[in-house]
Each structure stands twice: as C-alpha cells, then as structure tokens.
Structure 1
Amino acid sequence: MASKKRQEKPLNSLFAGAVAGAVEGFATYPTEFVKTQAQFAVASGSGPPGPITIIKDTLARHGVRGLYAGCSALVAGNAVKAGVRFLSYDSIKLAVADKNTGQLSLPRSIAAGFLAGLCEGAFAVTPSEAIKTRLIEDGKRPRDQRQYKGLISGSAAIIRNEGLAGIYKGLGPTMMRQGANSAVRLTTYSSLRTLATKDGRKPGGVETFGMGAVAGIVTVYATMPFDVVKTRMQSESASQYKGAFDCVATMLRQEGVRRFWKGTTPRLTRLILSGGIVFTVYEAILDSMAVIEGKAKEVAPAVVKSS
C-alpha cells in the first residue's frame, strides 16, 4: 500500500480506511443498487433488465431516494470494512515484508490481501451486506407492505426473527469473495504504486485515482462469480439452495456460466469509481495525518523549553 518510507500506524490505517470507505460507499451506492436489482431479477426467473431500465423504474416509483434503499447499511459497513481491510493488510504486510527492503514479494502480497479480505468478510461485510440485500429487496415492495423502516429497525427485526444467523447468511461465499477481492485489488494497486514510486517520487491525486481505478477493473472480472453467489445466498430465496456449492451447481445447470457475470456493468462502474475514490482518500488522509503528527512533534519540544 505505501512506499518504504512511510510506515502506517495501526490506528492511522484504521481511521483513514474507515473514512475512505464511508465516502466511497455513499458516492457509488446507486451502482451497487442497480447491480443487486439485476441479480434479484435473474434469481426470480425474470428477464434480466438493463441498468437504464432499473434506474428509470426506480426513479418513477420511488424517486431519487429509491436508488439509495439500503444505503445506510452499506455506508456503515463500508466504513468498518475498509478500516478493517487497511488495518489488516498494513499490519500483515509489515509482518511479512522483506526486512531489508520493506517490500513484499508477489506471493506474499497476494496472501496478505487474501487474509485481510477474510478478516473484513467475517467482521464487517457479511452482516452489512446481508442487511443491505434484505433492505433493497424490501424496498421493491409497495410502501405499505414493507417490513423494515430503516437500518436500525431492519437489523433489529432480522436478528429478532432469525437470530444472528439471519445477518450471517452467505458467510462462506462472502469471505471467499472478500478474500479474492482484496488479494486482487490490493496486490494490483500495490504493484502499480511500487512502479510509480520506484524513482522516489510521490504520485499525485489523479495518478492515485487512476491506479485505484485499474485495480477495480481487474478485481471485477476476476471475482464477479463470488459476488453473484454471495447475493443469491443472502436473498430471501436462498432457502432453495442447500448451500453455496449447491447454488453454484444449480446456476450452472439451469442458467449457464454467463450468469456468474450478471451485474458486471454496474459493478464495474462502481469498482472503477470505488478504487479511485477509496485509495485517493486513504492516501490523502494518511498524508494529512503525517503532516499533523510532524507539526505536533515540532511543537512539543518548544512547549517543553518554554515551561
């Protein structure tokens, strides 16, 4: 993630990642909404609607707010998820990096990213996305037939009716998706950043955004099947499957291999923006915190002398 000269402190990684995740989640949420709706349509046996059709229908029925159904769950979860991801990755990276150069080999970078993804999948992503998926599904119903009023009441209702298992549906597929996501995304970004900083220069904001966007593109095509299976296993119709492997087998048999990449376009849009936003905000916050800490160190001796 970072150049050799900057060693991220755990709390800095956690804070910068959480803020970056919250900003990214809110900014890109409509694309996540469209992707999930497209996957629901296929799961229910309907013809797959295009992104424009979904947006038009949602705006006509529910207005702009309809595109943000379930947003609060994703933004909150995204903040925790990104915080855990960067904290885990930076901590693991420091532990396994070469002692002399401070750099990671490609296999170690992939392993660090995968482990970081497993952590975020277990502690943040599965609960938040399970709730988000249910809120989006509920939002499709007429207003007087909806079960959940929002994030807090919806979460409470799901836990009350189904127990903790209700917000941990799809744990296995989600952990695998996040492990694969982080392994690909963080390794791609780290590799690009290493190339960009090999002469000692610091990448600008536009360059950082571009590297994050490229990392997002690679991640989408490499991990889309995990995302589709995860959505199926967290939907209200998940009971038709015996488990994740049965879901995969049933989809292959009934819908063909192409269905594993359904929703690629909106997810591609989201992860291009997501990668650019989250890495740009993350790096900017870390740089700001480094400046603040540097000034604090300069002020401290002056305060001691004057006292």
Structure 2
Amino acid sequence: MASKRKEKPLHSLAAGAFAGAVEGFATYPTEFVKTRAQFAVSAGAKPPGPIQIVRETVAQYGVRGLYSGCSALVAGNALKAGVRFLSYDSIKLAVADKQTGQLSLPRSILAGFIAGLSEGLFAVTPSEAIKTRLIDDARRPKPERKYAGLLSGSAQILREEGIAGIYKGLGPTMMRQGANSAVRLTTYSSLKAIATKDGRKPGSVETFGMGAIAGIVTVYCTMPFDVLKTRMQSSASSQYTSTLNCLTTMLRDEGVRRFWKGTTPRLTRLVLSGGIVFTVYENTLALLDKGEAVAKETVQEVKKES
C-alpha cells in the first residue's frame, strides 16, 4: 500500500482527534441504543428493538435522553481517534518498505492492531466504562440516579472504586479495539490504495464510501468483543469472575447468537462513523498540510525581505 503523502504524526493526532469528536457526536444515539439493548439482555429481559428504545427514551426524557453519557464518548472518541491515527501513522513510518514506501497486508494488520491496543489502553476503556455507567444509570428514575453528569460521575466512580473502576473490561476492550483498528484501517487502506493507484485523489463522497465499507466489515468481525466489553463494564459485571467466565456463561445460558446482539445499531453507527471519521480526517489533514505550506512560504518571504 503506497503512501501518497509523507506521514506527519502531529498532524495525524490533531486531525484524528477532531474527526473523532465530530464522529462521536454525530453517531452517539446509535451507540446509546446499542448499549441499552445489551443491558436489557444482560438483565434477562426480552431485548427491545432499536425503534422501541428510541420511542421510549424520547417519550420519557426527550431527545436529550438519547445523548445520556454523550460527553464521555465524545471526549473519549476524540482522544482514541487521535491516538489511533497517531499510532497507526507512526507505525507505518517505522515498518513500511524503505525502498518503495509500501506497507504489506500483514504489516498493515499489525500496525492497525497495535494502534487499537494503544487506544484501548489509553482512551477507550476509561471513557467507555464511564459512558456505559452513565447510560446504565440514566435508566433509573431521577431521584435514584447516582451520577449527575460526566465530571461528577467520573469523580464519584474514581472515589468509590479507584482506577480499577474505570478500567473494568480492559482485556475485552483492548482486544476489541485491536481487532477494530486492524480490520478497519487495513480495509480502508486497501480500498484507498486501489482508488489511488492511478495517482488521482479520491473525493469526499468516495472517501465516505470507503470508510462506510470498512465500518461494515469491522462490525461483523468484531461484534463479540463489543458485547463482552459491555457486559464487563455494566453494573451487573460482578456476577462474572473474569472475561473468560463471562464468555463461557453467555455461551451456556444465551447461545452464540447473543454475541451479535446490538449489531443493527452498531452497524448503523460504524457505517456512519467510518464514513464520517475518514472523510473529516482526510480533509483536516489536507487543510493542515496546506496551512503548513503557507506558513513556510510566509516565513521564507519574510526572511528574503529582511
């Protein structure tokens, strides 16, 4: 996979963080619906459909109810996307063929997997643990809720449970993110390599389409990791002694199909998020590169005049 531009890690960090924030806010209601559906299953209730969850939430709490826990996800999304693209582009620089600048398929998968492990450790686990708690808490009547919001809720979790409280489900989260990034980034990079093999630059619509396809592939390949993560981060996680125990218990009591519960809302989210994040990322990179070039030209002109 030939790199069409020289990778600039700081630009990757900034563009990734911005793209992650935009994507997180735009697609959050689908994440809310997916998490609610998984909570219902873990509580032993008949799983409600996505439309039913939306209707009940809006009827009870208004449209704002679909954004319960949103601030945690948006902040975490910005951080995780920044870490993901920074890690991936940095690893690409290190492992790409020195002569051709190409990244082989195995190396691309490895770079994506390591990038996913990094974002899982430094960004995703804490932010999604808090987000999951906030969504779980929002199901209760207002007088019975434990958390008033992102900052106070985070502080309360840390105060009552320590760092371990926001690192519940670390194992499945890191594996999910590693698999997510390996599949998503490799799929997108492969599609982009095909689209740019004649030297042309894909437009935003084409970039959105490639990102959406990468999202579809990612959902079906990694959904079981997402279900395990949600179970291990919910308030009912105490019934499981470990991630492996959660896995075996679910297989025994609920069957293999439960590992794909919540696929529809997650599919919707990752199709949209894949399209949004790669489109915003590529356009932001282009703006940063252009801004850097203009700044260098300005500095050179000033030096000439002086």
Name the TM-score, length of structure 1 as normaliser: 0.99
Residues 22 and 75, structure 1, Cα contact 8 Å, conserved in 2: yes
Structure 2 letter corresponding to 1:226: F
Residues 4 and 101, structure 1, Cα contact 8 Å, conserved in 2: no
2:158 paired residue number: 159
2:90 paired residue number: 91
Measure the CA separation in 2 of the matches of 1:61 and 1:279.
35
Q: Deviations over 1:49-108 (max 9, x none)?
A: 000000000001100010000000000000000000000000001100011111111100
Matches within 5 A, 1:243-282: 243-282=242-281
Runs of 4+ in 1 over 3 A off after TM superposition: none
Structure 1 residue 293 displacement after superposition: 1.0
Structure 1 residue 9 displacement after superposition: 1.2
Structure 2 letter corresponding to 1:88: S
1:180 paired residue number: 179
1:127 paired residue number: 126
Q: Secondary structure at the match of 2:45?
A: coil
Measure the CA separation in 2 of the matches of 1:200 and 1:218.
26
2:141 paired residue number: 142
2:18 paired residue number: 19
1:107 paired residue number: 106
1:202 paired residue number: 201
Count of residues in correspondence between the two structures: 306
1:70 paired residue number: 69
Structure 1 residue 242 displacement after superposition: 0.8
Q: Secondary structure at the match of 1:236?
A: coil
1:40 paired residue number: 39
Residues 81 and 124, structure 1, Cα contact 8 Å, conserved in 2: yes
Matches within 5 A, 1:41-56: 41-56=40-55
Gaps of 5+ in 2: none
Deviates more, 1:12-21 or 1:96-105: 96-105
Q: Deviations over 1:144-198 (max 9, x none)?
A: 1111111000000000000000000000000000000000000000000000000
1:229 paired residue number: 228
Structure 2 letter corresponding to 1:182: S
Q: Deviations over 1:249-282 (max 9, x none)?
A: 0000000000000000000000000000000000
Measure the CA separation in 2 of the matches of 1:5 and 1:271.
26
Percent identity between matched residues is 76
Measure the CA separation in 2 of the matches of 1:44 and 1:292.
52
Structure 1 letter corresponding to 2:56: D
1:294 paired residue number: 293
Measure the CA separation in 2 of the matches of 1:189 and 1:212.
6
Residues 79 and 123, structure 2, Cα contact 8 Å, conserved in 1: yes
Measure the CA separation in 1 of the matches of 2:23 and 2:200.
26
Measure the CA separation in 2 of the matches of 1:170 and 1:146.
23
Residues 18 and 83, structure 1, Cα contact 8 Å, conserved in 2: yes
Q: Deviations over 1:121-161 (max 9, x none)?
A: 00000000000000000001111111111100000000000
Structure 1 residue 5 displacement after superposition: 3.3
Measure the CA separation in 1 of the matches of 2:60 and 2:300.
62
Gaps of 5+ in 1: none
Measure the CA separation in 1 of the matches of 2:97 and 2:4.
14
Q: Deviations over 1:188-210 (max 9, x none)?
A: 00000000000000000000000
Measure the CA separation in 2 of the matches of 1:276 and 1:90.
19
Measure the CA separation in 1 of the matches of 2:274 and 2:165.
30
Residues 33 and 69, structure 1, Cα contact 8 Å, conserved in 2: yes
Structure 1 residue 4 displacement after superposition: 2.3
Residues 7 and 93, structure 2, Cα contact 8 Å, conserved in 1: no
Measure the CA separation in 2 of the matches of 1:271 and 1:225.
15
Structure 2 letter corresponding to 1:201: R
Structure 1 residue 30 displacement after superposition: 0.1
Residues 170 and 233, structure 1, Cα contact 8 Å, conserved in 2: yes
Structure 1 residue 8 displacement after superposition: 2.2
Name the TM-score, length of structure 2 as normaliser: 0.99
Give the RMSD, CA atoms, in angstroms.
0.8
